[in-house]
Amino acid sequence: MVEIKLKKGKEKAVLQRHPWVFSGALEKIKGTPENGDVVKVCSANNDFLAYGYYNDQSRVAVRLLEWDENQVIDEVWYGQKINTAIESRAHLLKNKDTNAYRLIFSEADFLPGLIVDKYADFLSVQILSTGIEKAKPMIIDVLVKALQPKGIFDRSDATARTHEGITAENGLLWGEAPAAFIAVKENGITYHINIAEGQKSGFYCDQRDNRLLLAEYADGKNVLDCFSYSGGFSLNAFKHGAKKVTSVDSSALAIETLKQNIELNKFNSKNHTAIQADVNKQLRAFKEEGKKFDIVILDPPKYAPSRSALDRAARAYKDLNRLGLLLLESGGLLATFSCSGAVDIETFKQIIAWAALDAGKEVQVIKQFSQPEDHPVRLSFPEGEYLKGLLVRVL
């Protein structure tokens, strides 16, 4: 096995079980590894530290897998990691009101670069590292044995693959291809989702708990759901008694799917307005019209993919939330989210404070939102805590 020696003093993060070794920490490579190969990582004193995937195309030169030198990274090892991840979610899988979950969450489940989502009887897989790409046949075999899905679909078309030097993939990996729309349940609500062409892996399981928490405030309210996608917040609001819901998304497919989901759940479409538009432009249009809402939901895409984009992202978040706050009267609620890992909760609170100041509003934070338990956070990998949100009351 190829051995990689780290520079003196660069072993601290590895000893603390952080799973990333950056290229600048490497001192010497003994051998000629191919990208995706498992390598042995050693300290400057030649002491064993960990095993991991090597990639010279990425800033993260080694993605660490295992800190026990006696372990062998083979099909048995993958089977143990995958089955442990599935078993840790066993109580969730018994819930008859929900059948859409994240089963494997990359570094959080000791499988960096592997995401597996379960949608009813299908699995949607994202492979985001060269190491997982090489191990794909073993991984698919383990998933089939463990879960007996109808089919496994590859949604490895994320930009993260380009940073690893591998091309995007989208297609059937095993079994039966999913229909254009398949039905899944979440919190007792049925959704038609598109695995092959929908955003990310087909659905956003990470907002499951937050949709339910926010819906408790929706009874009798006029709700604006921005970046609505297939309607998670909109549908939960209707289920919990919302008087009227307006959903805004720039995607025609998302809006069409949302309309199907309104009908599927037999909610009154007369009380729903679906708008395909750029959210920022639409918020400005609402402001010009003098429209007001009781609850405004802002769940935008990732504005800060890295720390280098943080300043630009902060300005974008501030402007978006300023516009949202201007559509609320006293007592109104703003539910605002960030899925940017580079934006921590304290930074996000500061951004919302600036937005409130610019909007001339005094606000209270009455609830904090986070990602659900099928998106766990390893304390040795705080970067895995990417989703955060605030429920803010306008005074």
Q: In sequence order, what are the residues at sequence separation of 6 or more whose Cβ sits closer than 8 angstroms to the Cβ of residue 375?
A: 102, 105, 108, 205, 206, 384, 387
Give the pLDDT confidence score for residue 159 in this predicted structure.
79
Give the pLDDT confidence score for residue 154 in this predicted structure.
94
* CB-based burial label for 353 (10 Å; 0-12, 13-18, 19+): middle
Signed CA dihedral, 56, 140, 203, 256: sign only: positive
Give the pLDDT confidence score for residue 38 in this predicted structure.
97
How many angstroms separate the CA atoms of 328 and 200, rounded?
A: 31
How many angstroms separate the CA atoms of 277 and 282, rounded?
A: 6
Give the pLDDT confidence score for residue 157 in this predicted structure.
80
Residues known to be catalytic: 339
How many angstroms separate the CA atoms of 151 and 48, rounded?
A: 40
Beta-bridged to residue 171, according to DSSP, are: 154
Yes or no: say if 385 and 353 are a contact pair by the CB < 8 Å rule.
Answer: no
Residue 27, phi then psi, degrees to nearest 5? -100, -45
What are the 10-residue block averages of pLDDT along the chain, 395 residues in total? 96 97 97 96 97 95 98 96 97 94 97 96 95 96 96 88 87 95 94 84 88 97 96 96 97 91 95 97 97 97 77 91 97 96 92 97 97 97 95 98
Yes or no: say if 112 and 81 are a contact pair by the CB < 8 Å rule.
Answer: no
Per residue in 23-57, pLDDT (tens digit) is 999 999 999 999 999 999 999 999 999 999 999 99
Amino acid at 360: G
Give the pLDDT confidence score for residue 380 in this predicted structure.
97
Place of tokens 């009887």: 121
Per residue in 132-154, pLDDT (tens digit) is 999 999 999 999 999 999 999 99
How many angstroms separate the CA atoms of 361 and 27, rounded?
A: 54
Give the pLDDT confidence score for residue 308 in this predicted structure.
76
pTM for this one?
0.93
Residue 230 three-state SS = coil
Give the pLDDT confidence score for residue 292 in this predicted structure.
97
Write the CA distances from 238 to 217, 233, 262, 270, 314, integer angstroms.
Answer: 11, 9, 9, 12, 32
Yes or no: say if 328 and 359 are a contact pair by the CB < 8 Å rule.
Answer: no
Give the pLDDT confidence score for residue 158 in this predicted structure.
75
Q: Are strands 114-119 and 122-127 parallel, antiparallel or unpaired?
A: antiparallel
Write the CA distances from 383 to 57, 201, 340, integer angstroms.
Answer: 21, 20, 10
How many angstroms separate the CA atoms of 237 and 216, rounded?
A: 8
